[in-house]
């Protein structure tokens, strides 16, 4: 691999990942995005799934077909509560944590193969370590990095386990409960890359828990406010990092009026996300 990696970087954003795939569809149309353009694929949280699919040569249309046909809410079922409406299950997740095993099994069913350039991250809350998973160590991996690198991860642990460890938000448990969403450390994972890296990043950004309809709504509940401030801080940190990568094209789908955890989103709302993301990124590509 060239020491100057050609990277694709995908940020997390829950169900808003459909906006990433809509943006990719427009990028492909303009011959500005294709998996063959990259040798390194990095993703965090929902972006980890996108990076894995891209590394496995899935087209944007294949990803969108998966997005439209999949009821993602069926993967988030706290024990014994599967008959309850999804939003009620979500509200009770603090008491009845939702296992990500169903999601992990579904990811494993996609038939993804280990790829040398694929990386994703998580946080170990027992050891306070930021962990990066890969198959083979990148030649450009910084010798001074204080991030723990786990190699042979996908072939040993499986894609389902590794990717869901990057997706474990509060109320969601991965295979081992100490692993938390990689976004708590860095979303997306940028700081490990050489500053002269080239390629594309799709950044969904953080909408907070507010739905900005004409700027009239804002977080009211204490938990919503706390989550908004955490997410905004992470977003600001990402923007600061982006400034260090002059050769990295950053695409912003700008979908901020959708709750990232609304996995029961209707097919019509999914199509709206995709259509809007295409419109928002046409000039950016």
| CATH code (residue 231) | 3.40.1090.10
- Number of domains observed in the structure of the chain: 1
**Number of Cβ within a 10 Å radius of residue 168:** 26
Judging by beta carbons within 10 Å of its beta carbon (0-12, 13-18, 19+), is residue 89 exposed, middle or buried?
Answer: buried
pLDDT of residue 237: 84
Cis peptide before 188 (omega within 30 of 0): yes
Mean predicted lDDT score pLDDT of the chain: 86
Q: How far from chain centre, in Å, is Cα 272?
A: 20
Two tokens, residue 133: 């998973």
Q: Is residue 106 part of a domain?
A: yes
Q: Kindly report the pTM of this predicted structure.
A: 0.90
Q: Is residue 101 part of a domain?
A: yes
Residue 245 belongs to what domain range? 6-281
Q: Is residue 1 part of a domain?
A: no
Q: Is residue 136 part of a domain?
A: yes
Q: What is the pLDDT of residues 108-155, one digit of tens each?
A: 999 999 999 999 999 999 999 999 999 999 999 987 788 999 999 999
Bridge partners, residue 202, by sequence = 10, 251
Helices (runs of H) and strands (runs of E) counted in the chain? 9, 10
How do beta strands 98-99 and 40-43 pair? unpaired
pLDDT of residue 96: 54
pLDDT of residue 213: 46
Q: What is the pLDDT of residues 38-53, one digit of tens each?
A: 999 999 999 999 999 9
Q: Across the 285 residues of the chain, what is the mean pLDDT of every consecutive 10-residue run?
A: 82 93 98 97 96 98 98 72 47 62 96 96 95 95 87 98 92 89 90 94 75 55 65 81 92 87 90 97 98
């Amino acid at each position: 691999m060239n020491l100057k990696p050609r990277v694709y970087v995908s940020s997390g954003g829950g169900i808003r990942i459909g906006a990433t795939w809509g943006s990719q569809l427009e990028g492909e149309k303009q011959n500005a995005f294709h998996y063959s353009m990259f040798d390194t694929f990095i993703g965090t949280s929902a972006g980890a799934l996108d990076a894995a699919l891209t590394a496995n040569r899935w087209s944007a249309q294949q990803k969108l077909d998966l997005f439209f046909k999949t009821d993602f809410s069926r993967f988030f079922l706290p024990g014994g509560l599967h008959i309850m409406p999804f939003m009620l299950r979500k509200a009770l997740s603090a008491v009845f944590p939702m296992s990500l095993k169903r999601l992990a099994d579904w990811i494993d069913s996609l038939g993804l193969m280990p790829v040398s350039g694929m990386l994703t991250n998580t946080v170990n809350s027992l050891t306070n370590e930021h962990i990066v998973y890969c198959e083979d160590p990148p030649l450009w991996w910084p010798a001074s990095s204080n991030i723990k690198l786990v190699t042979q991860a996908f072939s040993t642990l499986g894609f389902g386990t590794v990717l869901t460890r990057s997706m474990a938000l509060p109320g969601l448990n991965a295979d081992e409960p100490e692993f938390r969403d990689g976004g708590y450390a860095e979303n997306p994972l940028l700081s490990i890359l050489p500053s002269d890296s080239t390629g594309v990043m799709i950044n969904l950004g953080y909408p907070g828990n507010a739905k900005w309809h004409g700027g009239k709504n804002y977080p009211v509940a204490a938990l919503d406010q706390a989550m908004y401030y955490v997410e905004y801080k992470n977003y600001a940190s990402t923007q600061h990092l982006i400034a260090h990568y002059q050769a990295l094209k950053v695409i912003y789908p700008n979908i901020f009026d959708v709750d990232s955890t609304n996995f029961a989103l209707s097919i019509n709302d999914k199509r709206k996300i995709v259509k809007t993301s295409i419109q928002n990124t046409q000039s950016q590509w």
